[in-house]
Amino acid sequence: MAEVGTAEKRPFTAPLSEGYLVVDRKKCSGCISCMLACSLVHEGKTDLSLSRIQIVQNPWGCFPEDIALAICRQCVNPKCVEACPTEALHVDAANGNTRTVDGSLCDGCQVCIDACPYKPSRMIWHHEKGVAVKCDLCGRAPHWIEKGGPKGKQACVEICPMRAIKLVKEAPEQEGDAGYEVNLRNEHWGWLGFPTD
């Protein structure tokens, strides 16, 4: 119980997202087609700085640590939404409760970028528009013919040639990375000689 005279800070809560991207770090081939596709469907151009998914690599790194896949986790308790002073970052009920930026409300303060607890931050700075942008599970991707969002398709999932990105409906374990970094490999991957464990 809070002491008398002090404000109790209640945990920030938001309706659960209806979809989450999970990835297989050991299956990714580092081709970054997902980044190209993401920026393409959202921006009409391929632009790695504006991709909502970021793949960071070291050519001489040791498998599997040579690649990190930075996807927005659509957090159960989204720090970005909590931190936004203008309510630009909001839970988009019309798009399956994805955590989304309303660009018209964003004043470019970048607080959300710092608030994201993951590195690299899953909040993306759109340097041309002066606003923050983020993964909306392609719910509002103007340069794509498909319906996106948790009930639709996501460009990164569709494009990935290794089928290393997947949409799930249940919220993954929030603690650590294990809920979001999953094993999507089957016996055919093993037949090629690659590890399946």
By CB under 8 A, name the binding residues for other proteins: 26-33, 36-37, 39-41, 43-50, 54, 56-64, 66-68, 70, 113, 119-121, 125, 127, 143-145, 155, 158-159, 161-163, 184, 186, 188-195
Q: How far apart are CA 46 and CA 50, in angstroms?
A: 8
CB of 10 to other proteins, least distance (A): 31
CB of 135 to other proteins, least distance (A): 15
Q: Which is nearer to other proteins, 90 or 131 (CB)?
A: 131
Q: Which is nearer to other proteins, 50 or 75 (CB)?
A: 50
Q: Which is nearer to other proteins, 18 or 124 (CB)?
A: 124
Q: Rg (Cα) of the chain, in Å, rounded?
A: 18
Q: How far apart are CA 190 and CA 172, in angstroms?
A: 26
What secondary structure letter does DSSP report for 60?
T
CB of 64 to other proteins, least distance (A): 7
- Give alpha helix (H) positions in 58-104: 79-83
CB of 140 to other proteins, least distance (A): 15
With a CB cutoff of 8 Å and minimum separation 6, the contacts of 139 are 92, 95, 96, 98, 100, 148, 149, 150, 152
25: left (phi over 0), alpha (psi -120 to 50) or beta: alpha
CB of 83 to other proteins, least distance (A): 17
Q: Taking a C-beta distance cutoff of 8 angstroms, is the pair 43, 141 a contact?
A: no
CB of 181 to other proteins, least distance (A): 14
Structural tokens at position 38: 């993401």
Q: Which is nearer to other proteins, 46 or 91 (CB)?
A: 46
Task: Report CA 146 to chain centroid distance, whole Å.
Answer: 19
Q: Which is nearer to other proteins, 81 or 155 (CB)?
A: 155
Q: Which is nearer to other proteins, 26 or 99 (CB)?
A: 26
